[in-house]
Structure 1
Amino acid sequence: MAAAAAKQEGYFDCRDAWAQTLESLAEQDPRIVAVVNDSVGSSKLGGFQKKFPERLINVGIAEQNMVGVSAGLANGGRIPFVSAASCFLTGRALEQIKADIAYANFNVKLIGQSSGVAYGELGPTHHSIEDFAWLRPLDAITVVVPADPWETAEAVKWAASHEGPVYLRLSRMPVPNLEIANRKFRPGRAELVHQGGDVTLIACGTMVHLAAKAAIALAADGISARVLNMATLNPLDEAAVAAAARETGAIVTIEEAGIRGGLGGAVAEFTAGNLPVPVERMGFPGFVPTGSVEWLFEHFGLTVPGIMKAANTAIGRKRP
């Protein structure tokens, strides 16, 4: 998917949107600083470093120290954007994120780059599929997963203006902009991508595009699928999930993450306790093999046919 998409016109790297937006915000607000772990290139912060050399802090390959430094900067009145590969940011520095950022409720913005299985062949050490399960229980942190460049830019703007910790999860895989009229970024609110009444496909990040394509394919089979872009995992838009359960009676969740503790877990938790309906969770069951992004998606059914199959399964499980 990634290699092929990169060659298609109209596909964009969300990291470019993130970097350009941060530079623009930094020009207007001198409190904004960037903190990295020897990741200037992969974070696309070369331009930021040239424009604001004194406002980029590179701590080297020391993620725990990086998060601790950002807490100190926030305590001193700065607005630190901490950018690193999400697998290392959330894995190696989880204790500091929990104690120094979430518990202290410091105004730090954590930017998890190259999330999911975007690193592909580098294997499980570089896959970031557990980050939702690690961070979602930290209720002080708003967890945002943009689906496209437009949403990425809007999320960065919102994060800069929001007083409190944020985890922004970005992919390195090029994606197109969603074709939705009159869009407005609303943290904590799901975005309706496609209307439907037979089943609801709830997706986040890169998976929103596959869900939208699956809805079109399902329509050809006479199945009306609602598609929700659940860009904010914490807090979850429970009203949108409740409406999906009541109005469609079946839900499929699709995420580039583990199926336990992430989007699927959040939706299943809510429906089980409030409006029990069939919920099919699509994602990764645990550690996944080393392989290309395309192979991993195909192998674990994160494809249009795979989503269609899950939708039909969920519909078949509806109560009579």
Structure 2
Amino acid sequence: MNANTPAKPRLTTSAMIASIASEGQRVRAAPFGKALAALGESRPDIVGMTADLSKYTDLHIFAQAYPERFFQMGMAEQLLLAAAGGMAKTGLTPFATSYAVFATRRAYDFIHQVICEENLNVKICGALPGLTTGYGPSHQATDDIAMMRAIPGLTIVDPCDALDIEQAVPAIAAYTGPVYLRLLRGNVPLVLDEYDYQFELGKAKLLREGREVLIIASGMMTMRALEVAGQLQKDSVGVSVLHVPTIKPLDEETILREVKRADRLVVVAENHSVIGGLGESIASLLLRSRLAPKFLSIALPDAFLDAGALPTLHDRYGISTESMSHRIKNEL
């Protein structure tokens, strides 16, 4: 290299952990790790465990605060969750972290038989849920909800933003029983503080009102739904947004009440495969309740997805704000 040629800037953030935040969007760094470390001060029963991914699940913050309560299990997800079950039997409350694909696909039998069949108090926290990494099918957890919904007694939580995570951590710690948390990590967008929001386990929350469309969403797709509502407002289309942070058990009462309130297009938006997720769960609920509104599912396709930059992938697979707005307009 010529001495006068400026060196290329060194990359300090892996594409694996790239934030889903838009440029200039408000964020909070590592809300899960900070919330768990804060909770650990008053809850000596809480232990942190990971499969060689403490930094990439933000658990390193808890590990630095309580090194004697942190357990690095190596790249062995089955061992991680089997050990978490054993610790729960002694009265501890393990928060076990890994990437969502590894925690669910590689350790499914251990979650099913060791943890959930015995209703053990283990909190499984899976980072990179849905299409939140561009690394392709090996790391994109697009089928995790479908797998975990099938396990009896397992609570499933899909937070929208940093505030949701901060409030969900103490809530799931206070709940006795197994929980699967879809974990957004790193610089996580902050949006729900503008809506007087309070997380309640098992409860859906209406964030805004609109007469023409009702979007029912979970996870980061609630953020997208709020952005879509703002865009469609400019075209005089009113959009209600119902956030469903708890996928199982589903808040059927609130969902049915909102669907019945008006003759609106009902849209379910989720960062998950169209197979086995929130959309199918709500469609089943409506059918069982003999309701037949105009219905649109916005979800990832039943396919192995491409690798690439997240904005490109979100446009390609229909979960970007622009793609959602276009599909909803076409349905009206």
TM over 0.5: yes
Q: Deviations over 1:97-129 (max 9, x none)?
A: 111111111000010112112221x21010001
Matched, 1:290 2:304: no
- Structure with greater Cα Rg: 2
Q: Deviations over 1:44-101 (max 9, x none)?
A: 2223222222211111111011110000000110000001111100110011111111
Aligned to 2:174: 161
Please report the TM-score for the alignment, with normalisation by the length of structure 2.
0.89
Aligned to 2:324: 307
Instruction: Answer yes or no: is the 8 Å Cα contact 1:116–1:171 preserved in 2.
Output: no
Aligned to 1:242: 256
**C-alpha distance in 2, partners of 1:32/1:248?**
47
Structure 1 pair 4–285 and aligned structure 2 pair: CA distance change class (3 A): closer
Pairing 1:1-320 to 2, within 5 Å after superposition: 5=21, 7-8=23-24, 10-13=26-29, 16-120=30-134, 122-172=135-185, 174-246=188-260, 247-274=262-289, 275-286=291-302, 287-315=304-332
Offset at 1:25?
1.2
Instruction: Answer yes or no: is the 8 Å Cα contact 1:193–1:228 preserved in 2.
Output: yes
Deviates more, 1:170-179 or 1:87-96: 170-179
Structure 1 pair 127–192 and aligned structure 2 pair: CA distance change class (3 A): same
Secondary structure of 1:256's aligned partner: strand
Deviates more, 1:177-186 or 1:187-196: 177-186
Unaligned runs of at least 5 residues, structure 2: 1-17
Deviates more, 1:59-68 or 1:44-53: 44-53
Aligned to 1:318: none
Instruction: Answer yes or no: is the 8 Å Cα contact 1:87–1:131 preserved in 2.
Output: yes
Offset at 1:201?
0.6
Q: Number of paired residues?
A: 312
Q: Percent identity between the aligned chains?
A: 30
**C-alpha distance in 2, partners of 1:279/1:65?**
42
**C-alpha distance in 2, partners of 1:299/1:74?**
42
> Which residue identity is paired with 1:185?
F
Offset at 1:180?
3.6
Offset at 1:278?
2.3
Structure 1 pair 85–262 and aligned structure 2 pair: CA distance change class (3 A): same
Offset at 1:233?
0.5
> Which residue identity is paired with 1:283?
A
> Which residue identity is paired with 2:115?
I
Offset at 1:9?
5.1
Secondary structure of 2:285's aligned partner: helix
Unaligned runs of at least 5 residues, structure 1: 316-320
Instruction: Answer yes or no: is the 8 Å Cα contact 1:201–1:251 preserved in 2.
Output: yes
Instruction: Answer yes or no: is the 8 Å Cα contact 2:274–2:280 preserved in 1.
Output: yes
**C-alpha distance in 2, partners of 1:23/1:180?**
25
**C-alpha distance in 2, partners of 1:89/1:128?**
10
Instruction: Answer yes or no: is the 8 Å Cα contact 2:27–2:162 preserved in 1.
Output: no
